[in-house]
Amino acid sequence: MGALLALLTIVTFSLLVVRVGAKALMMTGLSWDTASFQAYSAFFGVGFTTKEAEMVVDHPIRRRIIKHLILFGNVGLTSAFATLVVTFVQTTGVTQTLEAAGLIAVGLIILVILSRVEFLKSAIDYVIQLSLERAGVSHVLDYELLLRVQSGYCVSEIDVLGDNPIAGKALAETRPADKGIIVLGITGADGVFHGVPGPLDRVEVGDVITVYGNEEAIKKLICEAGECD
């Protein structure tokens, strides 16, 4: 019975760790679906290669969270497996083995049911977020969700070359918004960044513009400048 309780305790702790990791990832700007998926992937050591995974490893705070999840996952899974083995080794017959398996199944079902109770989830999430904020993890907006980068839109940077149709002209002349492209910022050749440029701001050769818009429209603008492969 002691080994069985230890197993259920380890499983409960593992679920809590994954939830803490997912909440921490969400507070860095990921959507809940993405954060939850990455937390489970790291904890169980699956390591799916996706664009979302690249967004995690390229971010120092997210990378640190994933590192801790991998560590806890290895410890938790090893402990759970060892405890499971001990639980069945201690049984002396078929009846006790079936009883142990039944108790484990009932315990896991209860944990699953409790994990789906909205009141408990809200209370746990509140405590987790409060603890993370006190630990210095700040909450940021999910910019990917706001910009809908997964719905055919993206944020990109374009090097302005001499044959680029917007080079040497003001934004009011080229009107990129009419093509489904919004210029978020202009980084001059001197490295100075100018955010939220107005219609009278000019784009010069050597600048790098940060744009948001339809992927096809952005690709077309790049190709018009002769930068396509």
pTM metric for this prediction:
0.47
Altogether, the residues listed in the chain come to a count of: 229
**CATH 3.30.460.80 for the 148-224 domain, yes or no:** no
Number of Cβ within 10 Å of residue 97's Cβ equals 14
Token pair belonging to 45: 């050591």
Token digits of residue 203: 């784009």
**Greater pLDDT, 42 or 98:** 42
pLDDT tops 60 at residue 163: yes
Residue-wise pLDDT for 99-141, tens only, equals: 767 776 777 777 677 767 777 777 777 777 777 666 665 555 4
Compute the mean pLDDT over every residue in the chain, rounded to the nearest whole number: 75
pLDDT over 80 (residue 217) = yes
Structural domain boundaries in the chain: 2-134, 148-224
Top pLDDT among 135 and 218 is at 218
| Residues 106 and 29 sit within 8 Å (Cβ to Cβ) | no
